[in-house]
């Protein structure tokens, strides 16, 4: 982040994978930090981002004196914004929430800075960070939408275990170790073993008529994409699958557009788009891989091709670090953009 005369007191709510990544990024990006306060369900010392740090038990009083609060929204701190978010706003704190509680709240802008930063203009002190899978998909399709208008999106995701937090990573690690030594390991947070498996279940199953048979992760992708792109009737179909990958979500996208865009034009549009990196040379086996995305900021797009079964339709493959861009980085970028826009 560029230089700033003002410095800010920042609270990070959560000390799990996303909370730790937020702390790392605040330091890595030279955020104008006056004070860093880490809040969680209990007071303790914990190694976070390479050194031991004080963690303060969360309470309404713990937000006193903060300018910005970044809610990690994962693991034990999931739902913390419901209890403390608006109370923090009442204390003059600018809240960015990575959790899902307020994403569809009409009072709360749902923001990807590269796509719809202008939505923050009417903020009421509270901005939501989209779901990790939604973020990378919309970063990839928004440039095409601006050029030709999207008519429909079909997405299948291949989501890493880190999306479940430390418990998901632990389950995969334990199951790998058990396989090697001939012992057994439980399923962890999943309904089936994740090792050597793909599980088409992320979130809770919905039974209402509108989304009957869809899991909540899939519904998030549908509803959040519509809100971010300001296209309330956009047809979106999602199938979300958990795969035995430690970090990095991958997505196969089928995007129907309002007019034809050639593959070359699509590459040029995406190459010029903020936050997008194009890696598209399948003839030499060059395309985005989850194994290469970890620790990186971009949304990587490749396998760009015309869908021969549908007019004006492109197929894409995109990959991103779900903890970094899909959660912590986008959350921090919202705060950085709000400062740049003089909204804080």
Looking at the fold, whether 189 and 317 belong to one and the same domain comes out as yes
Alpha-carbon gap, residue 138 to 84, rounded angstroms? 29
Query: Using one digit for the tens of pLDDT, what is the confidence trace for 163-180?
Result: 999 999 999 999 999 999
pLDDT of residue 209: 78
With a cut of 90, say whether residue 145 has pLDDT above it. Answer: yes
The average pLDDT across 141-156 equals 98
CATH code where residue 106 lies: 3.40.50.720
The average pLDDT across 262-268 equals 98
The average pLDDT across 188-206 equals 96
Looking at the fold, whether 101 and 28 belong to one and the same domain comes out as yes
Looking at the fold, whether 75 and 139 belong to one and the same domain comes out as no
**Of 204, 193, 73, residue with least CA distance to 128:** 73
- Whether 160 maps to a domain, the answer reads yes
CATH code where residue 218 lies: 3.30.360.10
- Whether 1 maps to a domain, the answer reads no
Looking at the fold, whether 146 and 295 belong to one and the same domain comes out as yes
Q: Are 327 and 132 in contact (CB under 8 A)?
A: yes
- Whether 253 maps to a domain, the answer reads yes
The average pLDDT across 113-126 equals 97
- Whether 85 maps to a domain, the answer reads yes
Query: Using one digit for the tens of pLDDT, what is the confidence trace for 326-336?
Result: 999 999 999 99
- Whether 146 maps to a domain, the answer reads yes
Looking at the fold, whether 214 and 317 belong to one and the same domain comes out as yes
Alpha-carbon gap, residue 40 to 332, rounded angstroms? 18
Alpha-carbon gap, residue 74 to 72, rounded angstroms? 6
The average pLDDT across 74-91 equals 83
pLDDT of residue 4: 54
With a cut of 90, say whether residue 300 has pLDDT above it. Answer: yes
- Please state the pTM of the whole predicted model: 0.94
Distance of CA 164 to the CA centre of its chain: 12
With a cut of 50, say whether residue 75 has pLDDT above it. Answer: no
Looking at the fold, whether 79 and 168 belong to one and the same domain comes out as no
- Whether 310 maps to a domain, the answer reads yes
Looking at the fold, whether 65 and 197 belong to one and the same domain comes out as no
- Whether 2 maps to a domain, the answer reads no
Looking at the fold, whether 334 and 263 belong to one and the same domain comes out as no
Looking at the fold, whether 106 and 140 belong to one and the same domain comes out as no
Beta strand extents in the chain (DSSP E only) = 8-13, 33-40, 44-48, 51-57, 68-71, 94-97, 126-128, 150-159, 236-242, 249-257, 276-278, 299-306, 313-320
Phi, psi angles (nearest 5°) of residue 152: -165, 145
How buried is 118 (Cβ within 10 angstroms: 0-12 exposed, 13-18 middle, 19+ buried)? exposed
187 is catalytic: no
- Whether 3 maps to a domain, the answer reads no
DSSP 324: I
Distances (CA, A) of 225 to 76, 254, 333: 27, 14, 19
Kindly report the number of other CB atoms within 10 A of residue 115's CB atom.
22
Q: Are 71 and 58 in contact (CB under 8 A)?
A: no
**Structurally, how many domains does the chain consist of?**
2
Looking at the fold, whether 314 and 335 belong to one and the same domain comes out as no
Of 132, 145, 147, 318, which one is the catalytic site residue?
Answer: 132
Of 147, 240, 249, 318, which one is the catalytic site residue?
Answer: 249
**Residue-number span of the structural domain to which 69 is assigned:** 8-129+327-340
Percent of all residues in the chain with a pLDDT value above 90, rounded to a whole number: 94
| Residue 78 binned pLDDT confidence (cut-offs 50, 70, 90) | low
Across all residues in the chain, what is the average pLDDT?
95
The distance in angstroms from the start CA to the end CA of the chain is 16
The average pLDDT across 215-232 equals 97
Looking at the fold, whether 309 and 212 belong to one and the same domain comes out as yes
Looking at the fold, whether 228 and 295 belong to one and the same domain comes out as yes
């Amino acid at each position: 982040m560029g230089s700033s005369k003002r410095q800010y007191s920042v609270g990070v709510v959560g000390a799990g994978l996303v909370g730790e990544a937020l702390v790392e990024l605040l330091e890595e990006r030279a955020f104008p930090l006056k004070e860093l306060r880490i809040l969680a369900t209990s007071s303790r010392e914990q190694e976070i981002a390479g050194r031991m740090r004080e963690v303060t038990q969360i309470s309404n009083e713990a937000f006193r004196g903060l300018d910005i609060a970044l809610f990690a929204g994962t693991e034990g701190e999931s739902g913390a914004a419901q209890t403390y978010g608006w109370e923090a706003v009442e204390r003059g704190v600018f809240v960015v929430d990575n959790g899902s509680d307020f994403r569809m709240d009409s009072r709360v802008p749902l923001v990807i800075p590269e796509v719809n930063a202008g939505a923050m203009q009417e903020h009421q002190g509270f901005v939501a960070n989209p779901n990790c899978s939604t973020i990378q998909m919309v970063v990839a399709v928004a440039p095409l939408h601006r050029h030709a208008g999207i008519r429909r999106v079909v997405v299948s995701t291949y989501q890493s275990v880190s999306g479940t937090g430390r418990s998901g990573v632990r389950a995969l690690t334990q199951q790998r170790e058990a396989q090697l030594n001939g012992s057994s390991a439980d399923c962890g947070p999943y309904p089936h073993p994740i090792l050597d498996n793909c599980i088409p279940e992320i979130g809770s199953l919905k039974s209402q008529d509108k989304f009957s048979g869809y899991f909540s992760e899939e519904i998030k992708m549908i509803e959040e994409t519509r809100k971010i792109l300001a296209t309330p009737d956009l047809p979106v179909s999602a199938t979300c699958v958990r795969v035995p990958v430690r970090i990095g979500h991958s997505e196969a996208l089928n995007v129907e557009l309002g007019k034809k865009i050639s593959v070359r034009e699509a590459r040029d549009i995406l190459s010029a788009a903020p936050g997008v990196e194009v890696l598209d040379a399948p003839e030499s086996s060059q395309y985005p891989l989850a194994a290469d995305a970890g620790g990186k900021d971009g949304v990587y797009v490749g396998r760009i091709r015309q869908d021969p079964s549908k007019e004006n339709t492109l197929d894409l493959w995109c990959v991103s670090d779900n903890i970094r861009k899909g959660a912590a980085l986008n959350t921090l970028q919202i705060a950085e953009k709000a400062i740049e826009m003089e909204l804080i």
